[in-house]
């Protein structure tokens, strides 16, 4: 099949944490997928539920197309401590042919690669976030208490940086300044934005679209 850049024959199955970026790509006309299905944000904390929802969304996706792009990271999004050899690609492979996954370690890596993040962070240890980590923080940090927060966040001397490719942060600050301050206080580190583009994310999606068009799947 000849390669093109239209997703019209595909279904996207994605983590809800990336819904702001994906919906933005839909609105601008880049992501013209037949259907987009989201799982609940923050399920990396609950691997069994992530697996259940991912399988469910793939089954639903089959009702629309046999070409499916999964937008989930490979390294950090699904960690099964009871079966360390079972990973997200294992789950996807079990669902049959016609499925590919965006090649990145996690959602942050889909938006900015390691080298770019190191440049942005200027050598400091940074807690990286996307807009979804702000919007859906109650899902992302479900069951985290202040003790767990204090264990994890303060060692990030570069603070928390939100990779903003959609003009999210300034608008959010205007509408929800108090909530953002509370979030920062809970983390015990400052939260700041860094403007990026969606070019890397677009390239990652197109790469998998072309894999599907060539018949190369999991």
Q: Are residues 123 and 187 in the same domain?
A: yes
Q: Are residues 89 and 151 in the same domain?
A: no
218 occurs within a structural domain? no
Write down the pLDDT at residue 23. 98
The answer to the question of residue 42 being in a domain is: yes
Task: Report the share of the chain in percent with pLDDT over 90.
Answer: 83
Distance (Å, rounded) from C-alpha 130 to C-alpha 16?
12
Q: Does some domain include residue 128?
A: yes
d(CA 141, CA 148): 10
Environment class of 93 (CB within 10 Å of its CB; exposed 0-12, middle 13-18, buried 19+): middle
Q: What is the pLDDT of residue 76?
A: 72
pLDDT: which is higher, 189 or 47: 189
| Mean pLDDT within 147-167 | 96
User: What is the mean predicted confidence (pLDDT) over 174-194?
Assistant: 97
Asked, for residue 1, whether it belongs to a domain, the answer is no
In the predicted structure, residue 138 carries a pLDDT above the cut 80: yes
**Per-chain mean pLDDT for the chain:** 93
Statement to judge: residues 98 and 122 lie in one domain? no
Q: Which residue has the tokens 């999004």?
A: 77
The per-residue pLDDT for range 86-110, each reduced to its tens digit, is 888 999 999 999 999 999 999 999 9
Name the token pair of 58. 């793939």
pLDDT at 20 (0 to 100): 98
pTM of structure: 0.93
What is the CATH classification number for the domain harbouring 49? Answer: 3.40.50
Q: Quick one: 84 and 153 in the same domain?
A: no
Indicate if 147 and 39 belong to the same structural domain: no
Residue 20 and residue 65 in one domain: yes
The pLDDT score that the predictor gives to residue 78 is: 67
* pLDDT tens column, 20-49: 999 999 999 999 999 999 999 988 777 888
By CB neighbour count within 10 A (0-12 exposed, 13-18 middle, 19+ buried), where does 163 fall?
Answer: buried
Closest C-alpha among 103, 108, 109 to residue 210: 103
Same domain, 15 and 98: yes
157 and 176 housed in the same domain:
yes
pLDDT tens column, 51-92: 999 999 999 999 999 999 999 988 777 677 777 778 889 999
Given a contact cutoff of 8 angstroms between Cβ atoms, the answer to whether 157 and 187 are in contact is no
Note the pLDDT of residue 114. 96
Tell me whether residue 155 is in a domain. yes
Q: Is residue 2 part of a domain?
A: no
pLDDT for 1 equals 52
Residues 119 and 92 in one domain: no
Q: Are 3 and 33 in contact (CB under 8 A)?
A: no
**Tally of domains within the chain:** 2
Nearest to 1 by CA among 209, 201, 206: 209
Residues facing 69 on adjacent strands:
12, 100
Residue 4 lies in a domain: no
Domain that holds residue 205: 11-107+198-213
pLDDT at 150: 95
> Ramachandran region of residue 138, left (φ > 0), alpha (ψ -120 to 50) or beta?
alpha
Q: Is residue 153 part of a domain?
A: yes
In tens, the pLDDT along 195-210 reads 999 999 999 999 999 9
Q: Are residues 77 and 102 in the same domain?
A: yes
Residues 180, 206, single domain; the answer is: no
Count of CB atoms situated within 10 Å of the CB of 2: 5
pLDDT at 2: 66
Same domain for 202 and 103? yes
218 has a pLDDT exceeding 70: no
Q: Can you give the three-state secondary structure of 77-120, one letter per residue?
A: CCCCCCCCCCCHHHHHHHCCCCEEECCCCCHHHHHCCHHHHHHH
């Amino acid at each position: 099949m000849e390669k093109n850049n239209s997703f019209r024959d595909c279904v996207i199955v994605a983590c809800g944490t990336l819904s702001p970026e994906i919906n933005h790509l839909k609105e601008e006309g880049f992501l013209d997928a037949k259907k987009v299905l989201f799982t609940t944000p923050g399920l990396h904390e609950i691997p069994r539920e992530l697996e259940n929802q991912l399988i469910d969304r793939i089954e639903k996706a089959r009702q629309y197309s046999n070409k499916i792009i999964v937008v989930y990271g490979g390294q950090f999004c699904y960690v099964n401590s009871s079966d360390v050899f079972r990973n997200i690609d294992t789950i996807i492979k079990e669902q049959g042919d016609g499925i590919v996954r965006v090649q990145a370690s996690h959602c942050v890596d889909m938006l900015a690669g390691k080298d770019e993040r190191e440049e942005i962070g200027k050598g400091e240890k940074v807690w990286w976030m996307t807009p979804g980590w702000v919007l859906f923080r109650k899902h992302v940090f479900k069951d985290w208490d202040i003790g767990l927060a204090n264990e994890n966040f303060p060692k990030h001397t570069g603070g928390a940086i939100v990779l903003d490719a959609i003009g999210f942060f300034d608008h959010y600050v205007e509408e929800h300044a108090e909530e953002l301050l509370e979030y920062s206080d809970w983390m015990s580190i400052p939260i700041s934005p860094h403007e990026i583009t969606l070019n890397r994310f677009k390239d990652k999606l197109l790469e998998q679209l072309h894999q599907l068009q060539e018949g190369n799947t999991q």
